[in-house]
Structure formats: C-alpha cells, structure tokens
Amino acid sequence: MIEAIVVLVSFIIGLFLAIIISGIFLWIALIILGERRSLLASGIANIVSSIVAGISIVLFSLIPFLAILSPIIAFLIYSYVLSKMLDISYGKAIVAAILSFVVLVFVSYVVSLLTLPLNVFIPSHTHISHVYMRHWLLR
C-alpha cells in the first residue's frame, strides 16, 4: 500500500515538474511578446500542443503526398492549438513557438559557457578509457 502511495506521489511530482519545465521557455517567449500568462498555463498548453502535434505528424506521415510536409503541418497545428489554449492570435503563437526555441538555444549556450571550466578540469569518461587502454597496450 505504501509503495503505491509513493509511486502516485512521485508521478504527480514528476508530472508537475514536466509541465513547469516545458513551459518555462514558452512563458519567457510570451513575456517578450507582451503576453502575460502563468507559467502553469504555458506549460499545460505546451504539453497539450506537443501531444496533438505529435499525433498529427504521425498521421500525416502515413499519407504519401503529405509525408514530406508533415513537420510543417505539425508545427502549424502546434501553433494553432497553442493559440487557442493561451487565447492569443495565431501569428503571435507562431512567433512565440519560434522565439521559445531561440530562448532555449540561448540558455543552453550560456549554460554551456558557464560550465566550460568544469569540463576543462574534469576528464571525460572517454578520456579516462583512452588513457587506460594506452597504458594497457604499452605494457
């Protein structure tokens, strides 16, 4: 019984974190566009839009003539669902989706620059393996 409660609580915490983390970049993009939405609403809209877009890309990829266009169609469907869930215009939803990707790339770049000193002083696993193999081969 206690295991089931622990699993349920950890599932709820994981779901909440997934919603918050997935909505952070969309929330920042909406703030840049001048649209004020809550972080929770942005996260839920992002997850629901992603699920609908994922289903649409699978369905459209099965149609021979539309398979090549399925990523574009899925992006347009993603933006449409996003615009309806967040009550913003379709154009702002497209710009917010693109801008959230740009913000994600920028944040990833900054984090990688900030952690660069750690990467210099901490050898990677492959480096350790190569040193060990070289030592073993030269015996």
- Walk along the chain (139 residues) in steps of 10 and give the mean pLDDT of each run: 84 84 89 90 91 92 89 94 94 92 85 72 58 59
CA 135, distance to chain mean position in Å, is: 42
Q: What per-residue confidence (pLDDT) applies to 19?
A: 82
Max CA pair span of the chain: 69
* Rg of the chain on CA atoms, in Å: 21
Tokens of 86: 């967040």
With beta carbons less than 8 A apart as the criterion, state whether 57 and 76 touch. no
